[in-house]
Amino acid sequence: MADFEMTALAAKPKRRAAARRKTAPKPLGRIPGPPILNEAALAAGLEALRALDPVVVEAMLAVAGETPLRRREPGFEGLCWIIVGQQVSTAAARSIFGRLQAGLTPLSPETVLAASDEAIRACGLSAPKIRAVRALAQACADGLDLAGLAALEADAAHARLCMVKGVGPWTADIFLLFCLGHADAWPAGDLALQEAMRMALGLKMRPDAKRATKLAERWRPWRGVAARLLWAYYGALKGRSGMALADKKEEV
Could you read off the pLDDT of 47-62 as tens digits, one per residue?
Answer: 999 999 999 999 999 9
What is the domain range of residue 223?
A: 39-69+185-241
Q: What is the pLDDT of residue 87?
A: 85
User: Is the model more confident about 86 or about 196?
Assistant: 196
Task: Give this prediction's pTM.
Answer: 0.81
Measured between its terminal Cα atoms, the distance across the chain in Å is 64
Give the end of a domain, one of 132, 155, 179: 179
* One domain, residues 60 and 80: no
Q: What is the CATH number of the domain that holds 197?
A: 1.10.1670.40
The answer to whether position 5 is within a domain reads: no
State whether 84 and 171 are in the same domain.
yes
- The predicted pLDDT at position 86 comes to 87
Is the residue at 230 inside a domain?
yes
Residue 20's alpha-carbon distances to 9, 25, 101, 179, in angstroms, are: 18, 10, 53, 41
Q: Give domain status of residue 141, yes or no.
A: yes
* 191 and 135 housed in the same domain: no
122-170: pLDDT as tens digits: 999 999 999 999 999 999 999 999 999 998 999 999 999 999 999 999 9
Let me know if residue 2 belongs to a domain.
no
pLDDT band at 250 (very low <50, low <70, confident <90, very high): low
Last residue of a domain, one of 160, 179, 198: 179
CA 85 – CA 162 distance, rounded (Å) = 17
**To which H or E segment does residue 179 belong?**
none
239 — pLDDT class (breaks 50, 70, 90): confident
Look at residue 222 in the predicted model and tell me its pLDDT. Answer: 96
Number of domains in the chain: 2
Q: Are residues 131 and 224 in the same domain?
A: no
Give the residue from 161, 179, 197 where a domain finishes. 179
87 and 163 share a domain? Answer: yes
In sequence order, what DSSP letters do the residues of 27-84 get, joined into one string? PPPPPP-S---SHHHHHHHHHHHHHHSHHHHHHHHHHH-S--------HHHHHHHHHH
